[in-house]
Amino acid sequence: MRALRPDYLFSGGRVLSGASLVVQDGVVQGVGDAPADAEVVPMRGRALLPGMVAAHSHAFQRAIRGRTEHRSPSSEDRSAVSAKDDFWSWREAMYAAAERLTPQDLYAVSKFCFLEMARAGITAVGEFHYLHRDASGKPYADPNELDLAVARAAREAGLRIVLLRVAYARSGYGVPENPRQKRFIEGSVEEYLKNLDALSRQVAVGAAPHSVRACPADWIRDISQEAFRRGWPLHLHVAEQRGEVEQCQAEHGTTPALLLERLGSLRDTTTAVHGVHLSPRDIAALGRARATVCACPTTERNLGDGVVRADLLLVAGARLCIGSDSEVQLSPLEDVRQLEYHLRLLQEQRAVLDLERAGVGGLGARLYGVASEGGMRSLGLRGGTLRPGDPADFIAVDLDDPSIAGANADDLMANIVFGMERTAIRETWVGGEPLRLDFEGALPGFRAAMRRLWG
């Protein structure tokens, strides 16, 4: 048993001064005074905070960082640039990597990505994984070979992982088959559920019908029912793009969120990823279900998706978490602060999400909870608060880092959420032990994969 004694401890949504975090067997045993039989570990000049969560990640997309920040060639005239660049043109660049990754490449890129997450203070990840088949579209001898490669990468990096194995049935409603998606698509919902069941015996899983665009209604209904029966979290892309909403209207006569409600797929264990283009009725439905919306603000602004109306969702009763998604940048604090800042730009107001008028540090504490507890809840995991019984997953922050120097107990969380740089995170702990972030060991495999992909 160890009693870690920092200057400040963020536990149960409050900043405590001079309190010990008592840890044994990887679990928080107590908060406050150190037991007489505990080894006291002074951590002067440090604050301890719950680890953060990337509840929606596509780790392999780390391989395309920096390769899409330009206008794509026109589909009609390859010598000219596109008149408009958006999610749909970005997707073509993503396919270029997805088509060519070998299992070893996928493992190497994912491990490097997960190490970068850990350095940014992420201790758990929900990997929304849709690469299942080989480059020709045939199943591997083990249909979960690629899923297991990603899970192994996360474990070796030291992160907790929930493998959100994606169901992908088609290119879209009334859309011709896309040969670039042949690594994603499985033949039936029965095949998908069989493979997910087998995977669940080796790693924590969640069910993930990709979207109403990629899965017909009967797939979503059947997968949702099995997820609820098995106690698995259910994750889906919902209303990221206007085109997705238009396709759903054409096929089902309603919006994606209302279709999920009609199918019985909205519950408090459902996470709607993105939730950008939501109507007032959509927001009300998500609130009634106490569902979670996973915002990915860095990706949503990188792709020009739009802004998540976190304010309206919270008022309606929905919950929030954040995801790293396309891995264009790995900074959960950047994601959670942009959740607020995007709304400030829209409404020309400040402190939009300070709905409870919580005073100095209150909005920071609330937003940090979105990045920690909100993500753990979304993945069906306990934790994210550093209360007794939680896993001892946390970060140690240097209070003398220039980005937050001078913070006190009252304004610590506002300083951390709105001002802290990644340089202030000195250690990331999972299960009561500090992670050894072996970038040097991971670099050769990562570099080799990048050379194979891009030359």
In the set 222, 282, 325, 335, the catalytic residue is 325
Q: Is 172 left (phi over 0), alpha (psi -120 to 50) or beta?
A: left
> What's the pLDDT at 73?
66
What is the arithmetic mean of pLDDT over 427-439? 98
Q: Is 235 within the bounds of a domain? A: yes
Going by DSSP bridges, is the β-strand pair 433-434/425-430 parallel, antiparallel, or unpaired?
antiparallel
- Are 29 and 141 within one domain? no
Q: Are 60 and 109 in contact (CB under 8 A)?
A: yes
Let me know if 311 is a catalytic residue: no
| CB 42, CB 79: distance < 8 Å | no
Q: What mean pLDDT is predicted for residues 361-378?
A: 97
Averaged pLDDT for residues 291-315: 97
Alpha-carbon gap, residue 42 to 33, rounded angstroms: 13
Q: Same domain for 260 and 409? A: no
Q: Is the pLDDT of residue 80 over 60?
A: no
Is residue 445 one of the residues assigned to a domain? Answer: no
pLDDT value of residue 74: 61
- Using CA atoms, how far apart are residues 292 and 310, in angstroms rounded to an integer? 11
Tell me whether residue 357 is in a domain: no
Q: Are 150 and 127 in contact (CB under 8 A)?
A: yes
- For residue 82, is pLDDT > 70? no
Residue 120, pLDDT > 60, answer yes
Mean pLDDT of all residues in 72-79: 59
More confident: 174 or 314: 314
Give the confidence band of 69 by pLDDT, cuts at 50, 70, 90. confident
Pair 398, 345 in one domain: no
For the chain, the straight-line distance linking the first and the last C-alpha, in angstroms and rounded, comes to 51
pTM of the model: 0.95
CB contact at 8 A, 13 and 369 = yes
Q: Are residues 29 and 107 in the same domain?
A: no
Number of domains in the chain: 2
User: Range of 14's domain?
Assistant: 2-50+384-436
Measured from the Cβ of residue 340, the count of other Cβ atoms closer than 10 Å reads 23
The answer to whether position 443 is within a domain reads no
Greater model confidence, 436 or 174: 436
We report the CATH number of the domain holding residue 114 as 3.20.20.140
Choosing from 328, 352, 376, the residue where a domain stops is 352
pLDDT digits (tens, 9 = 90+) for 187-239: 999 999 999 999 999 999 999 999 999 999 999 999 999 999 999 999 999 99
**Based on the domain organization, do 254 and 210 belong to the same domain?**
yes
Average pLDDT (279-307) is 97
User: Is there a domain that residue 453 lies in?
Assistant: no
| Catalytic residue (choose from 274, 311, 335, 390) | 274
Residue 147: active-site member: no
339-358, pLDDT tens digit by residue?
999 999 999 999 999 998 88
